Chains A and B, each alone.
Chain A
Amino acid sequence: MRIRPFDFKVATSLADALNQLDQAGSNARVLAGGTDLVLNMKKKNILPSTLISLHPIKNLEYVEEKNEMIHIGALAKHADLAIHPILEKYVSILCQAVGLIGSWQVRNIGTIGGNLCNASPAADAVPPLLALDAAVVIATLQGEKTVPINSFFCGPGQTVMKPNEILKEILIKKPLKPSAGCYLKLRRRKAVDISLAGVAFQAESDPSGQRIEQVKIALGGVAPTAIRVPDAENCLVGLSIEDAFQKIPMCADKAANAAKPIDDVRATADYKRTIVNVFVQRCAQHVLTTLKNYRGQS
């Protein structure tokens, strides 16, 4: 399978990449890991005139804690993020999700920035980032701008980024109270498959572990972009953990009702909606049990 000819440029820094991208015109693309881009070029879905490779830029692969924030460089690879101690400590839901992306081969070269910019409605990194209220930093020729993740995606394959902008990093606020998260994904087969539906469930309790203070539920693969489901979240907020267990079925029904899946080659809309219901229940059980077990430990 041949790839159509294109020009290849190498960027030595983010600033250099921005300049080259601007000069190369709107049909140029930035190359990170390439697991989606090269595949789409092979399939002739994307035919860029120029690729600007970011491979020499090594200082965008970081995961750092700065005050209350966690900063993840856009070129950090899925395989590294899946086992990163800072992420495991604070936002294990993200580790769970990126560890389920593609195969080991894909995770070893694919980047979180690429996963976001590719903007697949089924991208695994997105629901956890929505449930964590993350933000992304976009580098432009004029400087940097921060965009909340919930306004980053416009539709399948589309983001608010202009053709001459580059995603620089992802920002996640560290949870300050006891928190737990769970990501579940439905696939036709157990390994290496695109999500039919993904559910991310993140909750925070008060410091004593008695009451649920915050619940964030995000669904992937069941709408044009990943979505939050506030009605379902509100079912559980403010309840004691014991009461919250009782409300799980109601919460799951609301989440399933808010999903807008379509029939496609992979599964019917009805099936995806049912799965959202089941997965929200499983996630909620897991998260509430984890929060309950924190009691007395802090």
Chain B
Amino acid sequence: MNRLPIHLVVNKEDYHLFVKPNRVLLDVLREDLELTGTKEGCGLGKCGACTVLLNGRPVHACLTLALQVDGCEITTIEGIGGEKMHPLQEAFVDKGAIQCGFCTPGMINTAKALLDENANPSEEEIKQAIAGNLCRCTGYNKIVDAIHSCGCQSKKKKGGIK
């Protein structure tokens, strides 16, 4: 099984890699790029722990072959926020939406994609969006609160600009 060349833009950095066909994006991110923020939960596309953004949209890194996303832009949790935490990350901390933290990278990625699409989602829209991200600690209420508060903040900011 030959390694084949791919070009990925991960967190705005270019990577030219040689990858075996049977490796999923999750393995390449964690093992080759050492971006271990993305977690493997079930490995079967059920838990959402491996959620990354593919061209801005959440997908399961565990069910996506690395070669399949040649040329695409990938955002992992390491690419969200910078020197300072992203407002979503701050909201998760403020609202106590993190306990063990294993689901958090996937959860934040999904939430970010939601807020990029819809700056002020309703509670129902948030629940729909994170339906594919399982959390076994928090009971979801605090996660929904955190995303909701972030949505409200961005609305306030927009209102302020006007």
Contact = CB atoms under 8 A, between A and B. Distances in A.
B63 A191 contact: no
Interface string B101-129: 00000000010010000000000000111
A195 B141 CA distance: 26
Q: Which of A2, A5, A31, A34 has the most B CB atoms < 10 Å from its CB?
A: A34
B132 A103 contact: yes
Contacts of B22: 2-6
Kindly state the interface size class of chain A when it binds its partner. Answer: 20 to 34
Nearest to B43: A1
Interface in A71-99: 79
A39 B44 contact: yes
B132 A53 contact: no
Contact of B45 (A2, A4, A35, A53): A35
B135 to A, nearest CB: 13
A50 B150 CA distance: 45
A104 B63 contact: no
B146 interface: no
Interface in A246-284: none
A109 interface: yes
Given A5-B22, A39-B45, A103-B48, A53 B1 contact: no
Interface stretch (B8-16, B50-58, B80-88, B152-160): B50-58
B68 A7 contact: no
Nearest to B113: A104
B24 A8 contact: no
Interface in B23-73: 23-24, 43-46, 48, 51, 54, 57-60, 63-65, 67-70
Given A31-B65, A55-B69, A55-B70, A105 B48 contact: yes
Interface in A1-43: 1-8, 10, 31, 34-35, 38-39, 42-43
Contact of B21 (A6, A35, A106): A6
Contacts of B23: 3
A160 interface: no
Contacts of B20: 5
B4 interface: yes
Contacts of A51: 21, 65
A109 B59 contact: yes
A108 interface: yes
Q: Which of A5, A10, A103, A108 has the most B CB atoms < 10 Å from its CB?
A: A103
Contacts of A8: 4, 21, 65, 67
B67 A103 contact: no
Nearest to B58: A105
B58 A55 contact: no
Contacts of B24: 3, 38
Interface of A: 1-8, 10, 31, 34-35, 38-39, 42-43, 51, 53, 55, 79, 102-106, 108-109, 190-192
Pairs A-B, 5 closest by C-beta atoms? A103-B132, A191-B131, A8-B21, A5-B1, A3-B22
16 contacts: A3-B22, A6-B1, A8-B67, A51-B65, A53-B68, A102-B45, A103-B48, A104-B131, A105-B59, A106-B60, A106-B132, A108-B54, A191-B127, A191-B131, A191-B132, A192-B46
